[in-house]
């Protein structure tokens, strides 16, 4: 490693140029999907009080450090997405260079640099870098890889310096967990590292890893609570038996492995397998048996290189939190996602480059093959960033690759509505409901659009369906009230608006629509009282203030 230390700046520049080639289009991309929840419409991003809420309330979700960085970015970049994208890209570049430094401790330059370069341009990583919300991944990856780097120095250092590096590593690990708790398996990796490096030391080192494991246990418990009670990862979509979870985990693991080796047909939402289907169960069981056979061969083949085995185990261990054993909200849409593989992918990448490095003849063949892989992956990744240019391009790309992605049809419909394409929006809401008839939000939105286009009958039908599915949803009652008023049922409309207000007293649209019904009934005094009540709950409502001015004339 020492002999190419003086070239570190050159290596960083080369990695940076490769990353820039791939992600240059992202600098001109916008916000997508839930970026508004984390940034543009997040009240905690607005002031110092919000910063306090991030650390002292459920607003922390399970990544308060990431939210804090979002808060700082909001001060710097406002609602201009370029700055957020640039920061994600810079962090990803830094992560690739940290990986180079880590691998250079054990491998020749060809392996360390090639693996870092492949990590930098791998198409599977695009989802984590080009999606602003996934600052969670690149930030936690940055601290995670720093923790690994200093843990290496702790192990290799003297008693005094090694202890200092130990606490630095522990601090970076805590920061990684506070950025995204998916990295909670890193202490297991450290334990395995000791087992592979010097097996007799492993028992003695467990005590030193205790603080790491305590952080992991706390983060795991916090995340399980957050996902179930705050994010809503409860219900039929997460009601899986242990056998189903085990078979699904094997299938997920194989899909991630295949995508790391052959990163084609990448998509934002992959088809969701039916865990109870006989065909799905059979296929998963075959993969389970194949995995068991491979593990048996690895266990009895003493001559297998330890680094190959360690890379495969690292890949599996780091993916474990996302292999269906724990309930994650995203499982509502799919059991797999590219961004789940951000931290784990380098394990399989290093194994592949290590095997490639075994090619010694003819000279330069391995370098040529590595260059070809990097160029192919960079080209695919560069093209894949186009899917993340805007919410519309993301959902168009998703439905093209996965026609069963009901969420994509729904969100595409919302984008079409914002563009003024009402007919297109109605059609795509219908497509979402054909795939998932119990999707309450689609019924709610379709109810509103159909009422707005004078299709009161179908609008009422969708509104009643939405309330049957989600009787406590204020928006469902509001939109049904609008549809009933459009159909001429003023009494029914008033009842629904009142139910909406009982569920959400700050819903200004419910006050405004109730006032409209009262005005239509020539009950100006009651309408005025309704508007004033709404303004007491929502003093900043422009719509209610305009109505008050008109009614007061």
Are residues 11 and 115 located together in one domain of the fold?
A: yes
pLDDT over 80 at 197, yes or no? no
454: left (phi over 0), alpha (psi -120 to 50) or beta: left
The pLDDT value given to residue 116: 95
Per-residue pLDDT tens over the stretch 288-320: 666 666 665 555 555 557 788 888 889 999 999
The answer on 505 and 449 residing in a single domain is: yes
Judge if 335 and 455 occupy the same domain.
Answer: no
More confident residue, 8 or 338: 338
The predicted model gives 117-128 an average pLDDT of 96
Residues 340 and 436 in one domain: no
pLDDT band at 203 (very low <50, low <70, confident <90, very high): low
Residue by residue, DSSP assigns 323-380 as SSSS--GGGGT-S--GGGGTTTHHHHHHHHHHHHHT--SSTTHHHHHHHHHHHHHHHH
Same-domain status, 409 and 349: no
296 and 156 inside one domain: yes
**Residue at a domain's end among 391, 408, 427:** 391
Same domain, 382 and 485: no
Domain that holds residue 429: 392-552
DSSP labels, 42-89: -GGGSSHHHHHHHHHSGGGTT-HHHHHHHHHHHHHHTT-HHHHHHHHH
Q: What is the mean pLDDT of residues 500-514?
A: 89
* Confidence at residue 162, expressed as pLDDT on a 0 to 100 scale: 63
Q: How confident is the model at residue 22 (pLDDT cuts 50, 70, 90)?
A: very high
pLDDT at 61 over 70: no
pLDDT value for 208 = 82
pLDDT at 476: 94
Residues 416 and 370 in one domain: no
Q: Same structural domain for residues 209 and 83?
A: yes
Listed in sequence order, the residues at least 6 apart from 472 whose beta carbon sits closer than 8 Å to its beta carbon are 503
pTM of the model: 0.88
pLDDT digits (tens, 9 = 90+) for 471-485: 999 999 999 999 999
In this structure, the answer to whether residues 420 and 381 fall within a common structural domain is no
Question: Is pLDDT of 43 > 70?
Answer: yes
Last residue of a domain, which of 391, 416, 451?
A: 391
Looking at 328, 363, 391, the residue that finishes a domain is 391
pLDDT of 8 > 80? The answer is no
Same domain (yes/no): 433, 354: no
Q: What is the pLDDT of residues 211-221, one digit of tens each?
A: 999 999 988 88
Is the per-residue pLDDT at 253 higher than 70?
yes
Give the separation between CA 124 and CA 345, rounded to whole angstroms. Answer: 9
User: Structural domain tally of the chain?
Assistant: 2
Q: Which of 201-215, 475-489, 518-532 has the lowest mean pLDDT?
A: 201-215
User: Which of 74-88, 338-352, 368-382, 531-545 is least confident?
Assistant: 531-545
Predicted confidence band at 44 (pLDDT cuts at 50, 70, 90)?
confident
Specify the CATH number for the domain of residue 501: 1.25.40.10
Q: Indicate if 192 and 337 belong to the same structural domain.
A: yes
Category of 145 on φ-ψ map: left (φ > 0), alpha (ψ -120 to 50) or beta: alpha
**Using CB atoms within 10 A of its CB, is residue 263 exposed (0-12), middle (13-18) or buried (19+)?**
buried
- The mean per-residue pLDDT over the stretch 352-375 comes to 88
């Amino acid at each position: 490693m020492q002999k190419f230390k003086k070239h570190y700046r050159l290596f960083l520049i080369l990695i940076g140029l490769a990353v820039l080639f791939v992600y240059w289009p992202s600098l001109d991309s916008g916000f997508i999907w839930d970026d508004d929840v984390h940034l543009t419409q997040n009240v905690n991003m607005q002031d110092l009080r919000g910063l306090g809420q991030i650390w002292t309330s459920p607003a922390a979700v399970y990544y308060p450090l990431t939210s804090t960085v979002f808060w700082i970015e909001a001060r710097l970049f406002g609602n201009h997405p370029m700055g957020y994208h640039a920061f994600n890209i810079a962090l990803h570049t830094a992560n690739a260079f940290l990986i180079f430094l880590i691998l250079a401790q054990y491998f020749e330059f060809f392996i360390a640099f090639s693996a870092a370069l492949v990590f930098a341009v791998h198409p599977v990583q695009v989802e984590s870098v080009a999606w602003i919300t996934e600052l969670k991944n690149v930030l936690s990856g940055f601290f995670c890889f720093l923790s690994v780097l200093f843990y290496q120095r702790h192990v290799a250092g003297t008693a005094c310096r090694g202890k200092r590096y130990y606490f630095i590593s522990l601090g970076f690990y805590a920061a990684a967990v506070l950025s995204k708790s998916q990295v909670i398996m890193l202490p297991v990796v450290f334990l395995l590292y000791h087992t592979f490096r010097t097996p007799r030391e492993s028992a003695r080192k467990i005590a030193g890893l205790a603080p790491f494991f305590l952080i992991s246990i706390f983060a795991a418990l916090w995340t399980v609570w957050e996902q179930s009670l705050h994010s809503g990862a409860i219900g039929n979509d997460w009601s899986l038996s242990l056998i189903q979870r085990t078979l699904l985990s094997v299938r997920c693991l194989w899909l991630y492995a295949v995508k790391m080796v052959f990163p084609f047909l990448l998509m934002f939402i992959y088809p969701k397998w039916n865990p109870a289907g006989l065909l799905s169960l059979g296929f998963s069981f075959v993969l389970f048996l194949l995995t068991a056979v491979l593990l048996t061969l690895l266990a009895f083949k003493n001559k297998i290189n330890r680094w190959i085995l360690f890379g495969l185990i690292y890949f599996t261990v780091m993916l474990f939190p996302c292999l269906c054993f724990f309930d994650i909200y995203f499982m509502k849409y799919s059991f797999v996602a590219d961004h789940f593989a951000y931290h784990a992918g380098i394990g399989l990448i290093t194994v592949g480059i290590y095997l490639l490095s075994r090619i010694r003849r003819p000279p330069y063949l391995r370098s040529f093959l590595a260059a070809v892989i990097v160029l192919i992956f960079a080209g695919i990744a560069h093209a894949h960033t186009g899917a993340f240019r805007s919410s519309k391009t993301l959902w168009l790309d998703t439905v093209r690759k996965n026609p069963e992605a009901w969420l994509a049809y729904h969100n595409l419909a919302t984008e079409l509505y914002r563009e003024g394409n009402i007919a297109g929006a109605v059609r795509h809401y219908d497509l979402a409901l054909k795939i998932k008839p119990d999707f309450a939000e689609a019924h709610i939105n379709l109810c509103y659009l159909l009422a707005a286009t004078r299709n009161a009958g179908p609008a009422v039908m969708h509104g009643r369906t939405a309330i049957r599915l989600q009787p406590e949803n204020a928006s469902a009652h509001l939109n049904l009230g609008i549809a009933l008023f459009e159909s001429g049922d003023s009494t029914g409309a008033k009842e629904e608006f009142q139910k909406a207000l009982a569920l959400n007293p700050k819903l200004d649209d419910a006050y405004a629509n109730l006032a409209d019904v009262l005005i239509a009934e020539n009950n100006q005094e009651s309408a005025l009282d309704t508007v004033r009540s709404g303004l007491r709950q929502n003093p900043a409502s422009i719509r209610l203030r305009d109505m008050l001015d008109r009614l007061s004339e």
